[in-house]
Amino acid sequence: MLPALLKNHHRIHDCAVEVLEKTQLTFLVTGPWFTNMKLLVTVDPANVHHILSKNVGNYPWGSKFKEICEVLGDGIFTTNSEMWQYHRRMAQSVFGHPEFHQALVEKVWEKVESGLIPFLDRASEQRLEIDLQDLFGRFSFDTISTVVMNYDPGSLSIDLPNLPFLKALHDFEEVIVYRHVVPTCVWKFQRWLGIGQEKKHREAWKIIDDFVYGYISKRQAEIRKNSQSKACKVGNGLGVELMTIYMDEVRKSAEIGSMFGAGRGTVGVALVWFFYLSTKNLHVLSKIKEELYTMIVQVQHCRTDDDIRWNQYKILSRNFQDLKDKLIYLHAAVCESLRLYPPVPFNTKVPMGPDTLPSGHKVDSSMQIIFIMYAMGRMKSLWGEDCYEFKPERWIREAGKIRYVPSHQFLAFSTGPRTCVGKNMALTMMKAATIAVISRYHIEPVQAHPIVPNASMILHMKQGFKVKVAAYE
């Protein structure tokens, strides 16, 4: 099994789908005796619920995972017990702040109007071929940077400046997958020699560190200069910058790095896969537009189609806070896209002690357990014979409400105590960008451009998504 995985490393996600369909949702991979490598791969919802919820105390982030993801330091994604509770409380106190969501919506639409729309208008006027993956990655990076650090790096500007930090994040994500699928002794030997993927990792780590620490130093200097109090408000544009005041330098670096890794890549990737699927399924796009039209009529009482056509974008942006949770079909389409192309395609755990999973598999501390969310969304036994279809209707009940799907079957935002605290933030960013683009532009994919998922910690398209855009007249 291990040689087959290594041979298919470039298509590891689809390879896992094929094997899991034949092995009743769970299989074991063992390496040569000298590697001490044992991997249990599962997409069985009962196993997932057991590990991430019911018996979560036996499955902390192990030392192996922390070593593989060392660049994240002691952040929310790599710590356990009291340290993890500290980070989660910090994140929840920010994301749950009464002013945070209003500030978030304002920041998202500011970036839509100052970055996304001007760039797409220019691309439309000049009939430029653009990479939507790069564009949405920059949109997410600037937005999250503004929310997290009150600093807009301006990566989404007309000339699309080259920012080493963005490439460093991408390189780091690829190396994480590589470290998961090869024996530890192999990647450690490469690290010692400073070659291959480990050379890439070292260079990316330095760029990420320099960026984050550079910001922290700059912000601390500003605070000292301005003698800002600790009572700064989220509504004043401070966002998650509360961390800058209350956290020591090492913890700030870990937390900010974690938030960039979790937010920038995942939202941008989720958006590009959504538009890839919707441009392949134009009937879905038509239904989303119809829903937007209906909502506009309800909130504005527009008299004619011309009123709606000329004012659609402005009406939607002005009423977004009230509309975003009423757009049922759009929400269903986003969930369906996340099912087929989850931004984080896999997750890992190591049991602290012996355990027996609901599937009957016995595990212990010498084993690594891997959940492959990409494969989970493609299991016929879980989603039906039409599981490969992009079908938002599967998420909508007859009453027109969103259908409940257990989070241990739909792992886009994880499940249990470690459920993503940024879920609402991610959905807000996705819906705002989607509404802005759909209401103003026709997206035309470039013919014959290959669309292949990359073997990475984040499910990027290996060669991006090349399109042309045309503004509606």
Predicted confidence (pLDDT) per residue in 288-331, tens digit: 999 988 888 777 655 555 555 546 667 777 778 777 788 999 99
DSSP SS3 for 106: helix
Lowest mean pLDDT among 135-139, 221-225, 434-438, 457-461: 221-225
Show Cβ contacts of residue 325 under 8 Å, excluding neighbours closer than 6 positions.
Answer: 331
- Rounded to whole angstroms, how far apart are CA atoms 329 and 393? 8
> Does the annotation place 420 within a ligand binding site?
yes
Tell me the residue ranges of DSSP E strands in 352-407: 355-356, 362-363, 368-372
Tokens of 293: 């039209």
Predicted confidence (pLDDT) per residue in 69-126, tens digit: 665 555 555 555 566 666 667 666 677 776 777 788 888 888 999 999 999 999 999 9
- Rounded to whole angstroms, how far apart are CA atoms 456 and 13? 10
In 10 A of CB 358, how many CB atoms?
16
Which of 280, 313, 333 lies closest to 440, judged by CA? 313
- Rounded to whole angstroms, how far apart are CA atoms 113 and 84? 37
Average pLDDT over residues 130-136: 95
315 in Cβ contact with 421 (< 8 Å): no
304 in Cβ contact with 372 (< 8 Å): no
Residue 183, judged by CB atoms within 10 A of its CB (0-12, 13-18, 19+), counts as: middle
Model confidence band, residue 336 (pLDDT cutoffs 50, 70, 90): very high
Strands 368-372 and 38-42, by their bridges, are parallel
Q: What was the pLDDT predicted at 294?
A: 85
Average pLDDT over residues 191-211: 82
Q: Is the pLDDT of residue 277 over 80?
A: yes
Token look-up 């356990």 returns 80
44-67 as b/e: b if 16+ CB within 10 A = bbbbbbbbbbeebebbbbbeebbe
What phi and psi values does residue 391 have, to the nearest 5 degrees? -135, 85
- Rounded to whole angstroms, how far apart are CA atoms 468 and 446? 7
- Rounded to whole angstroms, how far apart are CA atoms 119 and 364? 52
For the chain, how many helices (H) and strands (E)?
20, 9
Which of 265, 284, 264 lies closest to 274, judged by CA? 284
Lowest mean pLDDT among 36-45, 209-218, 329-338: 209-218
Q: Is the pLDDT of residue 201 over 50?
A: yes
452 in Cβ contact with 461 (< 8 Å): yes
Q: What angle do CA 345, 348, 352 make, to 5 degrees?
A: 165
Q: What was the pLDDT predicted at 242?
A: 46
Tokens of 53: 């919820």
Q: What angle do CA 112, 296, 431 make, to 5 degrees?
A: 35
137 in Cβ contact with 203 (< 8 Å): no
Predicted confidence (pLDDT) per residue in 8-53, tens digit: 556 778 888 999 999 999 999 887 766 677 899 999 999 999 999 9
Q: What angle do CA 64, 173, 458 make, to 5 degrees?
A: 110
How does DSSP classify residue 60? P
Hey, what domains does the chain have and what are their CATH numbers?
Answer: 2-471 (1.10.630.10)
**Average pLDDT value for the chain:** 81
Terminal CA-to-CA distance of the chain, rounded, Å? Answer: 55
Q: What angle do CA 178, 183, 188 make, to 5 degrees?
A: 80
CA 216 to centroid of chain Cα atoms: 24
